[in-house]
Structure 1
């Protein structure tokens, strides 16, 4: 094919060229899905980028979560620029960030961005506007694209310029999974929530990493290759940039950037080094086994690599997606693997969709009971505008590894694109990002609709008396549950648990009461997600909370033996379960019949009368005026 270079493979143990006088000698060998089926174009630098860039020692770093606070963190980072900002970004469409970069250029900061010249759907008017602002202020947007009109015609080096990094003042780095996009970085006030793409970025100071990325930038913008030009197209005269970006559908989970400490940083550059199976992420995935954990969030992971027209039933085995195959093999060896894929952009009718990948994993689990206990996959849209993350968390032998990448789980991303992957160790970072994963996993969970079980009336015992499901404010922060003791005796609550995990092992929340907690006869206790949010709404403190927002309110304690996730009541169908010393004693379920009706936003489900317990929806009514802390009458 035009412009491609035929490359002889090398023996991984000796580094010497392989010579068997067969097609297997060459990197383009179609019969080897792991080490073959690879090509190279002029301008690639395997001698420089086939091995990771490594930085030993510890390093302070800041985690930036999109859409929660990404806009605020990124513009603050830009505003501190003094001399220069350079970088590579797939697309640049954010008008507010463009304004901040233009302001920096007007105060003398040199700014140059390399963008993708032919993104899917073409260059947007939003990007033309952003680059015009930057150009008029003295900055520059460069584009990588084919140059057929050049003499001689110039072919681009990569399928897409898909890396995502900025370098400020030759020492500060901002990089991650997101473009400078209003979808990832909404600029609306976040007090009532927001709406955007899920992603993760990091910011840190490192002259060594900055120098490496500046060298990469110089390589990619080298005029010798004649595939980079300046974008000087303007939007039409009638174009108006959006005024406000965001929404309220997503309750902000992480309101501010999170400082962490990392060690053993590695940068892996694609396409040259991203499929080096002996190093980086691949080496970790191939070692994972019993007792290890892998949590993966990805925009797209098709069931197979190779021709789109392949037989969907055979292609995953014949032309495996190497990333997906590595996850499956880790689960087959006994590692716990969870894969969360985007639902917002996905087309379930496409045989290479994320939905097809989930179906493929479910088919493997159906024939392997052992695999079904270690491998789970689902699609989701936690932020309201898509799951754009490319994050793999790996706990291997107790060590916490974090992988943040610009690369999707596609063959093009791993073999043809300019990509950048960051790998490091951090216990603090793993804790934060695994909590992020669990939060998104819960928001994306498919509901298991359990039928109501009708039983004979039982002797008096502790009861759930009222539940606020769909709060007026930042749901789920304002959710709460009330319990009531209809008995004539005080009860030791430390023997009780409450949550929305319907069965042991569910990836939902289950919490136990702290030692010393009691409830007297005829009394109620209120459990709020956030005591601070509860106090703001009702003017009084709950008896217990989950989110540790008020030191005067005791916290319930997560019980991973029953529920392995976190509390997040689904507004359309879910349940709250109360467990006593001898097992489940009460539950309330809402949703489709035979569950109880779903209350409107701001209304609650209330037991009426408070001591009635027939285990049917006849026990419950919708309360237009919730009354936490008062015995329902």
Structure 2
């Protein structure tokens, strides 16, 4: 499913958001190790036959997006020189002989090779038939001379997902398994929004060979101008956006993307039954060998500097740019990335007001040296890497987020665990109308936890004080010498279901820049007496009443998990 349904009701006191948890498939395996998927369902890793060097079952695709489940397949990892014809594949009802073929490495067994070939990169081996792969699950056994040499079991196969033995769960077919890519030292430009909206357009204006721009939404005329100019001067330009954003595609986005296509620019939108991720939520651009990563959308309120507090960075490093380019190619090259014209034909457009705020320039961009850069991608590696970042903090963690999705999430939990071992943790949350009540309750809960346990943890709602309209940044500063900048909201859905991109930037200069930015917004949001802002008990009672009223009315509005932060 591409949508997370949240329950909402606008009441006099504000807006309550209640996120529904995501169910995951229950999986059963024989416990042996195998391989995982990468790129277009490539299963990488070395062949790892058992003691007798037999093939191993490493993947199964039981529930294709097709009538009658046409296109099922099984993936084997075979030692070099394996004679498949000596093996049989069976479930509890049927056993089939494998074809007479000599293979080695990853092979995909399928009775419909013409259908499967465009879904995988591994060698295709046509078979007359496979055991009927039940969607509800069943055991599979590989045997030779009547003896079982390997077995694999699965349960509850989601449509269009591949069971990957090494990770022990189903993953969307074609989902990547990107590693964390590290590089550095490198030169960089750190900047804030709305203070320095000229930085993103300046990066695009300087491109000579390529621009790969990935976003959730795209409505910026200024950015569109630069892309068209780049295309006309011979730069290869490609754009990838979410095809079905929360709240719908706006008329402004349709106009902007129509203009790019009319100019000859390749524009694709991620949508449809083959979608591997809940949302394509990443916000970055590759311009030649420069990597531009934002917390903001490509729209006037974000990259245009007309509304949101955001963080951004430009890293001049070929390896970092190459890692982002590879992610772009993997996302734009799969079946769910369809030409904009095809997606547009089926859309019902919605109107949206355009942000037109004017804010002072308080914090200037800085050119600085970054000692080390790490490129993170969700759902591939970002959660694990960020938990490691928080787990290694020794003095301080400063978090700015639209919302946390609750204190029990994996990243919020890691930050609280750091506070319990003595690390000072501060959390600055958005006070925007659409998350204000949720965040007020969460801040009160975190501050109460700090009081109860005596730990150095505090939370505030951001007060813009005329410097911006709302917080939309998703950033972290650790020990004043490491900063994380990117699209990742701090909730399990974003980390595990969305395509997200973030950079981990290490060094005193870059850490100090974002630490000063956080400090300015933190102190501006303090209560008049300098103490932590507290939420009145009456407000919390109002929130509880709103929740009861919402449940009674059952009003359902589709919103992105974690407060629907990118709708505004």
> 1:296-350 CA deviation, whole Å, 9 max, x = no partner?
101121215xxxxxxxxxxxxxxx211111111111111111000111144344x
Question: Helix, strand or coil: the match of 1:275?
Answer: helix
Question: Helix, strand or coil: the match of 1:182?
Answer: coil
Q: Which residue of 1 aligns with 2:442?
A: 357
Describe the shift of the 1:363–1:96 C-alpha distance in structure 2 as closer, same or farther (beyond 3 A).
same
Larger radius of gyration: 1
Describe the shift of the 1:323–1:238 C-alpha distance in structure 2 as closer, same or farther (beyond 3 A).
closer
CA distance in 2, matches of 1:67, 1:7: 50
RMSD: 3.5
Match of 1:83 among 206, 209, 229: 209
What stretches of structure 2 of length at least 5 have no aligned partner? Answer: 3-23, 34-44, 49-55, 57-138, 140-152, 157-166, 534-568
Is 1:344 the equivalent of 2:432? yes
CA distance in 2, matches of 1:384, 1:238: 26
Is 1:201 the equivalent of 2:312? yes
Higher relative contact order, structure no. (Cα contacts within 8 Å, ≥ 6 residues apart)? 2
Contact 1:177 1:199 in 2 (8 A): yes
Q: Which residue of 2 aligns with 1:316?
A: none
CA distance in 1, matches of 2:476, 2:293: 16
Return the offset for 1:366.
3.4
CA distance in 1, matches of 2:350, 2:410: 46
Is 1:184 the equivalent of 2:315? no
CA distance in 2, matches of 1:425, 1:365: 29
Contact 1:106 1:138 in 2 (8 A): no
CA distance in 2, matches of 1:430, 1:322: 23
Return the offset for 1:173.
1.3
Contact 2:459 2:532 in 1 (8 A): no
Contact 1:401 1:425 in 2 (8 A): yes
What stretches of structure 1 of length at least 5 have no aligned partner? Answer: 29-35, 147-153, 188-194, 305-319, 449-500, 509-633
Match of 2:285 among 159, 163, 166: 166
Return the offset for 1:229.
2.9
Match of 1:216 among 324, 327, 330: 327
Q: Which residue of 1 aligns with 2:508?
A: 427
Q: Which residue of 1 aligns with 2:524?
A: 443
Describe the shift of the 1:172–1:338 C-alpha distance in structure 2 as closer, same or farther (beyond 3 A).
same
Q: Report the structure, 1 or 2, having the larger strand content.
A: 2
Describe the shift of the 1:266–1:418 C-alpha distance in structure 2 as closer, same or farther (beyond 3 A).
same
Question: Helix, strand or coil: the match of 1:115?
Answer: strand
Equivalent pairs counted in the alignment come to 382
TM-score (norm 2): 0.61
CA distance in 1, matches of 2:351, 2:396: 49
Is 1:321 the equivalent of 2:409? yes
Return the offset for 1:247.
2.1
> 1:247-275 CA deviation, whole Å, 9 max, x = no partner?
24xx3211x32111011211111101122
CA distance in 2, matches of 1:424, 1:182: 26
CA distance in 1, matches of 2:155, 2:474: 27
TM-score (norm 1): 0.55
Question: Helix, strand or coil: the match of 1:40?
Answer: strand
Describe the shift of the 1:27–1:90 C-alpha distance in structure 2 as closer, same or farther (beyond 3 A).
farther
Match of 1:288 among 388, 393, 400: 393
Return the offset for 1:178.
1.5
Q: Which residue of 2 aligns with 1:391?
A: 475
Contact 2:213 2:240 in 1 (8 A): yes
CA distance in 2, matches of 1:238, 1:129: 12
